[in-house]
Amino acid sequence: MLTEVFHLLGTRGSPALRNLLLRGALRPAFDLGDQLEPVLKLMQKYSDVPMSLADACLVRMSETLSDSLILTLDTDFRVYRRHSRQVVPCLIPE
């Protein structure tokens, strides 16, 4: 996910994100190595969308973190479900 955030922020916003990470104000709490199987299952389930690795990680994080809210511009999150049936809590600006 950080890769996409750095990409979307571009050269103007990346230094601020870098500083947040260096200060410890933002700490990645997702370990793909520990979550690889469920992430790959999500990607397979939504292969017709298709679901990217980053999207699958976000959906999986929403399953493991009880108070999650995903801010995204990706309307595919209207299709994705966590725990197979629950709407993924997200904010999609229009």
DSSP annotation of 18 = H
State the average pLDDT over residues 25-37.
Answer: 90
Determine the Cα angle at 80 with ends 41 and 13, to 5°.
100
- 38-84: per-residue pLDDT in tens? 999 999 999 999 999 999 999 999 999 888 899 888 999 999 999 99
pLDDT value at residue 73: 86
CA 18 from centroid of its chain's CA atoms:
18
What pLDDT is attached to residue 71?
86
pLDDT of residue 83: 95
Q: Is there a contact between 90 and 71 (Cβ–Cβ < 8 Å)?
A: yes
Percentage of the chain lying above the pLDDT 90 cut: 69
* pLDDT score for 63: 95
Q: H helices of 24-94, where?
A: 32-45, 53-64
